[in-house]
């Protein structure tokens, strides 16, 4: 497949995304190819670890390739998207529970579906150019591919802030928020990959201090302003705060889908706590994405951002007054259609 290179080099199973021209956006076929590879390597003694990387310097993976989802959805075929998301989430869970080390090299943009394949492994490496984000609310989805799991586990209320605003995390911020493990200068990546291939030993990964980010200093204010019980409470707190950060955050929250943001807040509150698991997060995410084309803002979000590029989506609940019942409807159990991992 021209979009992805899968091979064994030395002791390593190697998966390289090769759609650099498309910021390595992941197609359905790429998703299935990755799953087939890691399934084959799971019990292969010749493979000691898996290395995930990508060609090009602009992106590890900018997300899922959503043009086909839009085309099928606007034609009334919701089943294609439902199957795409179910299969993608199954892959995310397999990477998270993989019995061998999975080492990912996350240069440039790692967003959405890129987080799903790059940020659930055991060794997640960032460099100077890394920009990690979950911007799904901006296209009428919710942070998915297990992103809600990491957001719920992030310190304080960083999860709400990152999930609602889609803010991009540089290397230090990504490590602080739990989306990455180690900072390694990108000039050192080729030698590190070669050492991993030769030795099969993930302990070869030795990170160093990343250039200081912004989230550590912002966290006290984030915790104060993003602790509301629902989206409306967060918006009220931001409006009543007199700070440059509050003003900037309020501006950021004026763009995404209100329904998506309200559901994101509810999801994080449901997940956060001692009983959190990735399986619970994926199940909750799938309840939303299963209904997203028909009952949420997803198709309109894609139209405005990708198809027509007019950047003026007509959201449901544009006044940000999202009824509790609308959130409950999007997140109610799916019964026989529930996600099967």
Which of the four pLDDT bands, split at 50, 70 and 90, describes residue 68? confident
Q: Does domain 1-341 have CATH number 3.90.226.10?
A: yes
d(C-alpha 257, C-alpha 136), whole Å: 9
Q: What is the pLDDT of residue 326?
A: 98
Q: Mention every residue, 6+ apart, whose C-beta is less than 8 A from residue 192.
A: 125, 184, 204, 205
| Interstrand relation of 123-126 and 182-183 (parallel, antiparallel or unpaired) | parallel
Radius of gyration of the chain (CA): 19
pLDDT in tens, 224-257: 999 999 999 999 999 999 999 999 999 999 999 9
> Residue 69 pLDDT more than 60?
yes
pLDDT, mean of residues 52-69: 92
> Residue 266 pLDDT more than 60?
yes
pLDDT in tens, 126-157: 999 999 999 999 999 999 999 999 999 999 99
Q: What is the pLDDT of residue 65?
A: 80
d(C-alpha 95, C-alpha 90), whole Å: 9
> Residue 327 pLDDT more than 80?
yes
Which of the four pLDDT bands, split at 50, 70 and 90, describes residue 103? very high
Q: What is the pLDDT of residue 1?
A: 55
Q: What is the pLDDT of residue 319?
A: 87
pLDDT, mean of residues 204-223: 96
* Domain boundary assignment for the chain: 1-341
> Residue 167 pLDDT more than 80?
yes
Tell whether pTM > 0.85: yes
- The per-residue pLDDT of the chain, averaged, comes to 96
Q: What is the pLDDT of residue 67?
A: 82
């Amino acid at each position: 497949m021209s979009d992805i290179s899968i091979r064994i080099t030395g002791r390593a199973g190697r998966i390289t995304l090769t759609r650099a021209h498309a910021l390595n956006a992941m197609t359905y076929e790429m998703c299935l190819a990755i799953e087939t590879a890691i399934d084959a390597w799971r019990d292969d003694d010749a493979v000691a670890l898996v290395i995930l990387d990508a060609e090009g310097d602009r992106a590890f993976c900018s997300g899922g390739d959503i043009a086909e989802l839009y085309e099928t959805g606007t034609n009334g075929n919701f089943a294609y998207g439902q199957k795409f998301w179910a299969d993608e989430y199954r892959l995310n869970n397999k990477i998270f529970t993989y019995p061998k080390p999975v080492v990912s090299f996350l240069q440039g943009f790692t967003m959405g579906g890129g987080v799903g394949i790059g940020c659930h492994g055991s060794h997640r490496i960032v460099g100077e150019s890394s920009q990690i984000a979950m911007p799904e609310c901006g296209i009428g989805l919710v942070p998915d591919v297990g992103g809600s799991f990491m957001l719920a586990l992030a310190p304080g209320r960083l999860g709400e802030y990152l999930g609602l605003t889609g803010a991009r995390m540089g290397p230090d911020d990504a490590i602080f928020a739990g989306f990455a493990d180690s900072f390694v200068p990108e000039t050192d990546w080729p030698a590190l990959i070669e050492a991993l291939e030769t030795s099969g030993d993930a302990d070869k990964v030795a990170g160093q201090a990343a250039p200081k980010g912004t989230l550590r200093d912002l966290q006290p204010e984030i915790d104060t302003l993003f602790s509301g019980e629902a989206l409306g409470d967060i918006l009220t707190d931001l409006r009543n705060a007199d700070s440059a950060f509050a003003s900037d955050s309020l501006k950021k929250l004026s763009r995404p889908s209100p329904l998506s943001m309200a559901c994101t807040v509810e999801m994080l509150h449901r997940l956060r706590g001692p009983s959190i698991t990735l399986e619970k997060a994926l199940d909750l995410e799938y309840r939303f994405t299963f209904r997203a084309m028909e009952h949420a803002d997803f198709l309109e979000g894609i139209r405005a951002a990708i198809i027509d590029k007019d950047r003026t989506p007509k959201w449901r609940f544009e006044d940000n007054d999202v009824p509790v019942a609308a959130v409950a409807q999007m997140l109610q159990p799916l019964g026989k259609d529930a996600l099967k991992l």
